Structure 1
């Protein structure tokens, strides 16, 4: 059982190699409860790190503990308390939004899912098929589960990538409504306006920064309007 002051995530000397490519090299850090922004350019190792933390990718070496569990030998226990949201929408395009809502309501309860639908402003799209929606709306549908799940840890990989400004704003606002007990780790080029507690920066597979939110750190990766300069 994880105590209140225990680290939610412990990473020590983490290295991941793919043949001759080193995706992560000797990365060490801890994450306490709160909201964490994981920054880094394409290829910096953000997705690799999230896949390791979620137990989908075994590291070459190093120690990883997530919510007190080993994600590779105690995945069943971990998955009951954690969600990993990838940078793609997984729902079949032929499903309607209402069908997704019904499925999630059976798992998490009507009230929590209904609240998430309202926060994400999806009420007018319930009877549309996923394939009929814009990318921004599809991503908002994908956000229903993490917002209604009440899991202790949520990992998100680039949830804002390629989205319109309205969907970015709506998703950010919805994420700000997560309970305090939920730890949110977001790999993103967008500095979340939801009271980020910790910033982790990866560069070339190495840890470049780990600490509190600092404007000068974030400005290296985002434009003056708060979004990345491509």
Structure 2
């Protein structure tokens, strides 16, 4: 895959300003569809996000993170579903990357603490205080679980975080219980893809950093789970109810 294709999943930085008193301003493209968090958790009941759409978003995030780590030598450090934005075609665009280089140590620690409160921070960051490729992959894994379960990582589930809750359910063979109800419509035809993506997500959030894959490995495995040729433009990005049929009766 070409580097410019990987970069298409990063929100373009258009301008940077450094003021006389040290104030900093960065300007990115405006994304009218908002964040992945809003798309997933604040949509109306008439909008149903199917599996091909979710997988497309997951692949886009993995490509963007791969570019940051491999071509730009940048650690994101605060990847959440709130700073993954969507363009008009629902393509994932990672934003807020590189901000750690502009922050003071105190500000960086504050960002890490916020990520922890929201449920995206890798557990080892409580000691390391400095993000790396494996902590970014952990955050990516949490977002993948968020897309699979439909649950926000900031909401404790039975007193545990989202990765622990999913891992426990799988261990106790309650795997079907973790999936977003909307995905159950796709299980009959794409169940293996969904299950294998769940396994990959759990690999990304493994408590042991060295066990986690790198972003490039995540991208490769996603391509094996759902090859690009199966993701055709004929598949609707979002399933909408047949309103015309119900109003005509």
TM-score range, shorter chain: under 0.3
Instruction: Tell me which of the two structures has the higher relative contact order, counting C-alpha pairs closer than 8 angstroms and 6 or more residues apart.
Output: 1
TM-score between both structures, scaled by the size of structure 2: 0.26
More helix, by proportion: 2
TM-score between both structures, scaled by the size of structure 1: 0.28
More strand, by proportion: 1
